[in-house]
A and B are shown apart, each in its own frame.
Chain A
Amino acid sequence: MSSRIPLPYNPKIIELFRNPKNMGPMKDATITAIAGSPACGDMISLYLKIEKRNNEDVVVNATFESYGCAANIAAASILTEMIKGKSVKEAWMISWRDIADELGGLPVIKYHCSILAVGALRRAIRDYYKKMKVHPDWLPRDLTVEEKQTFEEEKMMEHLRKMRESMVKYK
């Protein structure tokens, strides 16, 4: 196997891995987003139900599916718990750090799991407002760090995959 690294997971991760919350697709989702790719070995599908409450967009329900490691599953699970009942604006503000903290800490090489979870969430929120054809003033025009990183990972893996496939053909 390739060079390995110890992964002393926080018990919270094991707990959520064992009993993930809000798991599975949502039939009446307002918006869904996918981040990551099978080639990365890391992919999150996020399903949000958004409704207007007192003139504010609120995440009334959130579920997920995850293809990835234990930390990935735990990060996606805890994210759905963190955003349920929050306004979309508050949900947007959640950073990858917040998720890592909520999990009681993540090993450094697993930071990308919480980055991917935030990447999926912000992609869903952007898509939602694109669909609604509005742009709330708090929504940044430029991609945030988490969104950029998510893009980068997807792009890098796509590149590696293409390179490999062309090599296999060549052989």
Chain B
Amino acid sequence: MSIKDLLREHGKPPKEVYFDLENSGYVPDEVVEAIIPYFNKIGYGHPAITHKLGWEAFEVIDETKKLLARTINASGPEEIVITHSGTEANNLAILGHAIAHREKGGKILVSAIEHLSVIFPAEKAEKLYGFKVQRIPVDEEGFIDPEMFSAYMDKDVSLISIQLVNHEIGTIQNIRELVKIAKEINPEVIFHTDAADAFGRMRIDVKDLGVDMLTISSHKIHGPRGVGALFIKQGTKIEPILYGQLSSEKFWPGVENIPLIAGFRKAIELAFRDFDNNVAKVKRLRDKLMNGIIESVPEVLVNGPIGDKRVVDNANISFLYVEGEAITVEFSLNGIYVSSGSACTSRILEPSHVLLAIGRRHEEAHGSILFKVCRYHSDEDIDYALENIPIAIKRLRKLSPLTPPHLKGD
């Protein structure tokens, strides 16, 4: 089996539109150009060595942290830790907390729809350090009911990790209110929020939210993959989860990946340049895509909330009677790149835990497709998608024994 042959058979579609920004980002030329010089022109030294190339490298880290601190209203760069990914930032927040508090132990609360990079470390903290993990259920739009949340809260809760924006269904959680409830009941509790899918799409102010830790991922804002950051409020107790030779980063042993951090820095700059207009553009295009699909394809379900409590870039739609993996392949042959919450794309034979947690039935989750719109999309991109999606769904529905007869005709 050769993937080259697969790609040859696939061929190059007449136009290509990439909506799978959930899984891996599009990196614009400006960011690529910010990365390349750091391999062999400037700053390729070790950031903790006293020579010019080392200082140039250190400057990248320092500037990135200052910039990040400003964009989320942290007190300063000392509250920012650069990590190898959003996944590592979440691991550091949860396992780093668990290691630091293992003597005392207690409960870890997570929402039922957290990213796996939160759920799995929490489960690990339970196995390794004896914490007790509780998953807080959400309603059919992904929201946590504050009253129910307060019922989970007590003096025994050590850590809470609830994302600001859900990565699959776009729910914007009222973190500010949840933090307030949590800290009123237990002032000692540490509140972490995974903001990977919120950063760059809405204003984030860590002081206003009241959180102690906050996760960011570079590829979610058109930076390179393999870099992330964790905001850790001063005074928060946390232990490293990786060990080795330290330099500028006390939680990143080994040599820092300066080129990627330089790309991350550029991506942050671009995301916050003309922020309000960018966000408005993304929202307009997303609405056009989502409404266009709802109007042109019968029998679809929107997963997640509609309106202001849905993050601007997310459109998640279940196409009934067809299976999501087949949709991703069919769309791909037409140059539209998306992903699905279907079981067929996963290692386990279960569809997305997020969609099941909001009460979607298996067959509704299997037909789910996640689109993420970004400022690099144009009206033509959306028009192209809207032209092709109804045709693709119609073809697959024709193949399916589940499709009711009135949807099979031409």
Contacts and interface: CB of A to CB of B under 8 A. Distances in A.
B348 A3 contact: yes
A161 interface: yes
B155 to A, nearest CB: 27
Contacts of B361: 39, 161, 164
Interface in B339-366: 339-353, 356, 359, 361-363, 366
Nearest to B7: A11
Contact of A41 (B5, B330, B362, B401): B362
A82 interface: no
A12 B236 CA distance: 56
B399 A23 contact: yes
Interface stretch (B65-73, B186-194, B317-325): B317-325
Nearest to A34: B401
B196 to A, nearest CB: 14
Contact of B9 (A4, A11, A39, A73): A11
A68 B344 contact: yes
B151 interface: no
A105 interface: yes
28 contacts: A1-B23, A1-B352, A2-B346, A4-B345, A11-B5, A14-B9, A14-B329, A14-B333, A17-B329, A18-B333, A20-B399, A23-B399, A38-B363, A39-B362, A41-B324, A41-B342, A41-B343, A41-B344, A41-B366, A42-B323, A65-B400, A65-B401, A68-B326, A68-B344, A69-B326, A69-B342, A164-B361, A171-B359
Given A14-B10, A41-B363, A73 B346 contact: no
Interface of B: 1, 3, 5-6, 8-10, 22-23, 116, 137, 168, 321-326, 329-330, 333, 339-353, 356, 359, 361-363, 366, 370, 398-402
Query: Which interface residue of B5, B116, B168, B340 has the most chain A CB atoms within 10 A?
Result: B5
Nearest to B329: A70
B326 A171 contact: no
Interface in A143-171: 156-157, 160-161, 164, 168, 171
Contacts of B168: 1
Contacts of B402: 38, 43, 67
Interface in A13-31: 14-15, 17-18, 20, 23-25
Nearest to B167: A1
Contact of B137 (A5, A43, A171): A171
A9 interface: yes
A74 B366 CA distance: 18
B225 to A, nearest CB: 15
Nearest to A168: B359
A136 interface: no
Given A2-B353, A43-B402, A164-B362, A104 B346 contact: no
A40 interface: yes
Contacts of A25: 401
A171 B138 CA distance: 10
Contacts of B326: 17, 68-70, 72-73
Contacts of B350: 2, 160
Contacts of A168: 359
A39 B365 CA distance: 9
A134 interface: no
A140 interface: no
Contact of B401 (A15, A18, A67): A67
Given A1-B346, A38-B363, A10 B6 contact: yes
B399 A65 contact: yes
A169 to B, nearest CB: 10
Given A2-B348, A4-B345, A69 B323 contact: yes
Contacts of B347: 2-5, 109
B9 A43 contact: no
A112 B341 CA distance: 19
B10 A3 contact: no
A156 B362 CA distance: 13
B395 to A, nearest CB: 10
A2 B116 contact: yes
Contacts of B23: 1
Contacts of A15: 9
Contacts of B323: 41-42, 67-69, 72
A98 B350 CA distance: 27
Given A17-B329, A105-B1, A157-B362, A41 B351 contact: yes
